[in-house]
Amino acid sequence: MKNITLLLLLACTVAISQDHLKQEKPNKAVHLREIPRHNLLMDLGITQPTGDYKDVAKAGLHIGLDYTYYINKNLGLSSGIKLQTNQFGYLDSDTNPENEITNQAYRTISVAIGPTYSHTINRFQFDAFFKAGVAFYNNPSNRVTNFELQDAPDRILYQSDSANSSPSSAYIEGGLRFNYYFRRSVQVFFSPQWNTTLGNPIGYNFLDIEGTSFNPEEVRTINASNLVFSLGVKIALSPEYSSGENRYDGED
Protein backbone atom coordinates (compact mmCIF):
# COMPACT_ATOMS: atom_id res chain seq x y z
CA MET A 1 0.00 0.00 0.00
CA LYS A 2 2.83 2.33 0.86
CA ASN A 3 4.47 1.70 -2.52
CA ILE A 4 1.20 2.37 -4.33
CA THR A 5 0.81 5.68 -2.45
CA LEU A 6 4.35 6.72 -3.41
CA LEU A 7 3.71 5.87 -7.06
CA LEU A 8 0.49 7.95 -7.07
CA LEU A 9 2.29 10.92 -5.48
CA LEU A 10 5.08 10.63 -8.05
CA ALA A 11 2.58 10.52 -10.96
CA CYS A 12 0.75 13.59 -9.60
CA THR A 13 4.03 15.47 -9.18
CA VAL A 14 5.09 14.70 -12.78
CA ALA A 15 1.68 15.75 -14.15
CA ILE A 16 1.69 19.03 -12.21
CA SER A 17 5.26 19.78 -13.34
CA GLN A 18 4.42 19.15 -16.99
CA ASP A 19 1.33 21.35 -16.77
CA HIS A 20 3.38 24.12 -15.16
CA LEU A 21 6.00 23.92 -17.92
CA LYS A 22 3.28 24.13 -20.59
CA GLN A 23 1.89 27.26 -18.95
CA GLU A 24 5.29 28.94 -18.79
CA LYS A 25 6.33 27.98 -22.33
CA PRO A 26 5.90 31.05 -24.64
CA ASN A 27 3.08 30.92 -27.16
CA LYS A 28 3.75 30.95 -30.89
CA ALA A 29 5.26 34.31 -31.87
CA VAL A 30 2.47 36.86 -32.24
CA HIS A 31 3.67 37.97 -35.69
CA LEU A 32 2.95 34.43 -36.96
CA ARG A 33 -0.69 34.41 -35.79
CA GLU A 34 -1.82 38.06 -35.64
CA ILE A 35 -1.40 41.21 -37.77
CA PRO A 36 0.32 44.48 -36.78
CA ARG A 37 -2.23 47.13 -35.86
CA HIS A 38 -0.57 49.91 -37.91
CA ASN A 39 1.04 49.23 -41.30
CA LEU A 40 2.76 51.32 -43.97
CA LEU A 41 2.86 49.90 -47.50
CA MET A 42 5.02 51.06 -50.41
CA ASP A 43 5.06 49.49 -53.86
CA LEU A 44 6.52 50.05 -57.31
CA GLY A 45 5.34 48.43 -60.52
CA ILE A 46 4.20 48.69 -64.10
CA THR A 47 0.83 49.69 -65.56
CA GLN A 48 -0.81 48.03 -68.53
CA PRO A 49 -3.86 49.84 -70.00
CA THR A 50 -7.04 47.82 -70.47
CA GLY A 51 -10.32 48.28 -72.31
CA ASP A 52 -10.68 51.29 -74.62
CA TYR A 53 -7.82 53.01 -72.80
CA LYS A 54 -5.29 50.70 -74.46
CA ASP A 55 -6.20 52.30 -77.82
CA VAL A 56 -4.69 55.63 -76.75
CA ALA A 57 -2.18 54.66 -74.05
CA LYS A 58 0.72 52.26 -73.51
CA ALA A 59 2.46 50.73 -70.49
CA GLY A 60 3.86 52.99 -67.79
CA LEU A 61 4.90 53.27 -64.14
CA HIS A 62 3.03 52.78 -60.85
CA ILE A 63 4.07 54.14 -57.42
CA GLY A 64 1.87 53.60 -54.37
CA LEU A 65 1.83 54.57 -50.68
CA ASP A 66 -0.80 53.13 -48.30
CA TYR A 67 -1.62 53.04 -44.59
CA THR A 68 -3.69 50.19 -43.12
CA TYR A 69 -5.22 50.01 -39.64
CA TYR A 70 -6.38 46.53 -38.55
CA ILE A 71 -9.52 46.22 -36.43
CA ASN A 72 -8.82 42.52 -35.93
CA LYS A 73 -6.51 39.96 -37.51
CA ASN A 74 -8.70 39.66 -40.62
CA LEU A 75 -10.23 43.08 -41.26
CA GLY A 76 -8.47 46.39 -41.83
CA LEU A 77 -9.20 49.84 -43.22
CA SER A 78 -6.77 51.21 -45.82
CA SER A 79 -6.18 54.63 -47.34
CA GLY A 80 -3.63 55.46 -49.98
CA ILE A 81 -2.32 57.67 -52.73
CA LYS A 82 -1.01 56.44 -56.09
CA LEU A 83 0.80 57.96 -59.03
CA GLN A 84 0.41 56.19 -62.36
CA THR A 85 1.71 57.03 -65.80
CA ASN A 86 0.95 55.63 -69.23
CA GLN A 87 2.97 56.43 -72.31
CA PHE A 88 1.13 58.26 -75.05
CA GLY A 89 -0.35 55.79 -77.54
CA TYR A 90 -0.11 57.78 -80.77
CA LEU A 91 2.47 57.63 -83.52
CA ASP A 92 3.46 60.86 -85.24
CA SER A 93 2.09 60.90 -88.81
CA ASP A 94 3.21 64.48 -89.40
CA THR A 95 6.74 65.47 -90.38
CA ASN A 96 6.49 68.78 -88.53
CA PRO A 97 9.00 68.54 -85.60
CA GLU A 98 6.84 70.91 -83.54
CA ASN A 99 4.28 68.13 -83.27
CA GLU A 100 6.72 65.69 -81.66
CA ILE A 101 5.07 64.16 -78.57
CA THR A 102 7.49 61.41 -77.56
CA ASN A 103 7.95 62.96 -74.09
CA GLN A 104 4.23 63.23 -73.37
CA ALA A 105 2.46 60.81 -71.04
CA TYR A 106 -0.81 60.37 -69.20
CA ARG A 107 -0.41 60.95 -65.45
CA THR A 108 -3.01 59.96 -62.88
CA ILE A 109 -2.93 60.76 -59.16
CA SER A 110 -5.54 58.91 -57.11
CA VAL A 111 -6.63 59.13 -53.47
CA ALA A 112 -8.81 56.29 -52.17
CA ILE A 113 -10.00 54.48 -49.04
CA GLY A 114 -11.58 51.08 -48.41
CA PRO A 115 -11.55 47.71 -46.59
CA THR A 116 -8.82 45.06 -46.60
CA TYR A 117 -9.29 41.39 -45.76
CA SER A 118 -6.22 39.43 -44.62
CA HIS A 119 -5.45 35.82 -43.77
CA THR A 120 -2.19 34.75 -42.09
CA ILE A 121 -0.56 31.31 -42.18
CA ASN A 122 2.78 31.37 -40.33
CA ARG A 123 5.11 33.60 -42.36
CA PHE A 124 2.69 33.96 -45.28
CA GLN A 125 -0.12 36.49 -45.45
CA PHE A 126 -2.79 36.95 -48.12
CA ASP A 127 -4.57 40.32 -48.57
CA ALA A 128 -7.59 41.23 -50.69
CA PHE A 129 -8.49 44.93 -50.90
CA PHE A 130 -10.94 47.35 -52.49
CA LYS A 131 -10.89 51.14 -52.44
CA ALA A 132 -12.93 54.02 -53.84
CA GLY A 133 -11.98 57.67 -54.18
CA VAL A 134 -11.10 60.32 -56.72
CA ALA A 135 -8.51 60.50 -59.51
CA PHE A 136 -6.88 63.58 -61.02
CA TYR A 137 -5.17 63.31 -64.40
CA ASN A 138 -3.85 65.17 -67.39
CA ASN A 139 -4.79 64.46 -71.00
CA PRO A 140 -1.73 65.18 -73.18
CA SER A 141 -3.76 64.71 -76.34
CA ASN A 142 -5.27 68.15 -75.70
CA ARG A 143 -2.20 69.47 -77.55
CA VAL A 144 -2.27 66.94 -80.39
CA THR A 145 -4.03 66.84 -83.76
CA ASN A 146 -3.60 64.69 -86.85
CA PHE A 147 -1.77 61.86 -85.13
CA GLU A 148 -2.24 58.26 -86.08
CA LEU A 149 -3.47 55.82 -83.45
CA GLN A 150 -0.84 53.19 -82.77
CA ASP A 151 -1.53 49.76 -84.29
CA ALA A 152 -4.74 51.03 -85.91
CA PRO A 153 -5.78 51.41 -89.57
CA ASP A 154 -4.49 54.55 -91.30
CA ARG A 155 -7.90 56.23 -91.44
CA ILE A 156 -8.63 55.99 -87.68
CA LEU A 157 -7.26 59.29 -86.37
CA TYR A 158 -8.33 60.96 -83.15
CA GLN A 159 -8.29 64.40 -81.63
CA SER A 160 -8.93 65.32 -78.01
CA ASP A 161 -12.35 66.78 -77.24
CA SER A 162 -11.78 69.13 -74.30
CA ALA A 163 -15.48 69.93 -73.99
CA ASN A 164 -16.19 66.28 -73.18
CA SER A 165 -13.14 65.67 -70.98
CA SER A 166 -12.67 66.28 -67.27
CA PRO A 167 -9.48 66.69 -65.17
CA SER A 168 -10.90 64.48 -62.37
CA SER A 169 -13.40 61.71 -61.80
CA ALA A 170 -14.56 59.04 -59.36
CA TYR A 171 -12.14 56.16 -59.09
CA ILE A 172 -12.10 52.54 -57.85
CA GLU A 173 -9.33 49.97 -57.38
CA GLY A 174 -9.06 46.41 -56.17
CA GLY A 175 -6.44 43.72 -55.96
CA LEU A 176 -4.53 41.04 -54.09
CA ARG A 177 -1.26 40.97 -52.16
CA PHE A 178 0.86 37.89 -51.51
CA ASN A 179 3.05 38.71 -48.50
CA TYR A 180 6.00 36.96 -46.87
CA TYR A 181 7.57 37.95 -43.53
CA PHE A 182 11.13 38.94 -44.40
CA ARG A 183 11.57 40.09 -40.79
CA ARG A 184 9.20 40.16 -37.83
CA SER A 185 8.13 43.72 -38.63
CA VAL A 186 8.66 43.72 -42.41
CA GLN A 187 6.86 41.83 -45.16
CA VAL A 188 7.68 41.76 -48.86
CA PHE A 189 4.86 41.26 -51.34
CA PHE A 190 3.78 40.82 -54.95
CA SER A 191 0.51 42.50 -55.92
CA PRO A 192 -1.67 42.22 -59.04
CA GLN A 193 -4.37 44.89 -59.06
CA TRP A 194 -6.79 46.74 -61.34
CA ASN A 195 -8.09 50.30 -61.25
CA THR A 196 -10.27 52.58 -63.35
CA THR A 197 -11.89 55.97 -63.48
CA LEU A 198 -15.70 56.11 -63.68
CA GLY A 199 -18.01 57.99 -66.03
CA ASN A 200 -15.78 58.01 -69.15
CA PRO A 201 -14.02 61.31 -68.36
CA ILE A 202 -11.63 61.29 -71.36
CA GLY A 203 -13.23 62.54 -74.57
CA TYR A 204 -12.15 62.30 -78.24
CA ASN A 205 -13.58 62.94 -81.65
CA PHE A 206 -12.25 61.42 -84.84
CA LEU A 207 -11.85 61.88 -88.57
CA ASP A 208 -14.89 61.74 -90.82
CA ILE A 209 -15.26 58.91 -93.28
CA GLU A 210 -13.37 60.82 -95.98
CA GLY A 211 -10.49 61.36 -93.58
CA THR A 212 -10.38 65.09 -94.28
CA SER A 213 -11.58 66.71 -91.03
CA PHE A 214 -12.52 65.99 -87.41
CA ASN A 215 -16.21 65.76 -86.67
CA PRO A 216 -17.04 67.38 -83.30
CA GLU A 217 -20.33 65.48 -83.18
CA GLU A 218 -18.59 62.11 -83.37
CA VAL A 219 -17.50 61.97 -79.72
CA ARG A 220 -15.84 58.97 -78.11
CA THR A 221 -15.47 58.93 -74.29
CA ILE A 222 -13.38 56.41 -72.34
CA ASN A 223 -12.15 55.55 -68.85
CA ALA A 224 -8.51 55.41 -67.78
CA SER A 225 -8.21 51.73 -66.76
CA ASN A 226 -5.01 49.89 -65.81
CA LEU A 227 -3.90 46.42 -64.82
CA VAL A 228 -0.97 46.81 -62.41
CA PHE A 229 1.76 44.39 -61.32
CA SER A 230 3.91 45.62 -58.44
CA LEU A 231 6.44 44.61 -55.78
CA GLY A 232 6.57 46.25 -52.38
CA VAL A 233 7.14 46.19 -48.63
CA LYS A 234 4.68 46.22 -45.72
CA ILE A 235 6.16 47.66 -42.53
CA ALA A 236 4.73 47.43 -39.01
CA LEU A 237 4.77 50.96 -37.56
CA SER A 238 4.51 49.82 -33.92
CA PRO A 239 4.95 46.58 -31.90
CA GLU A 240 1.19 46.48 -31.17
CA TYR A 241 -0.79 43.73 -32.89
CA SER A 242 -4.51 43.38 -33.69
CA SER A 243 -5.07 41.25 -30.54
CA GLY A 244 -3.68 44.03 -28.32
CA GLU A 245 -0.45 42.09 -27.69
CA ASN A 246 2.98 43.47 -28.38
CA ARG A 247 5.38 41.65 -30.66
CA TYR A 248 7.29 38.77 -29.09
CA ASP A 249 10.86 38.74 -30.43
CA GLY A 250 11.98 35.43 -28.97
CA GLU A 251 12.68 32.32 -31.02
CA ASP A 252 10.03 31.35 -33.58
Q: What is the pLDDT of residues 11-35, one digit of tens each?
A: 555 455 555 444 444 456 766 778 8
The per-residue pLDDT for range 95-151, each reduced to its tens digit, is 344 444 444 678 899 999 999 999 988 889 999 999 999 999 876 544 444 444 444
Cβ atoms of 77 and 116 closer than 8 Å: yes
What does CATH list as the number for 38-236?
A: 2.40.160.20
Global confidence as pTM:
0.74
| Residue closest to 119 by CA, chosen among 71, 78, 66, 75 | 75
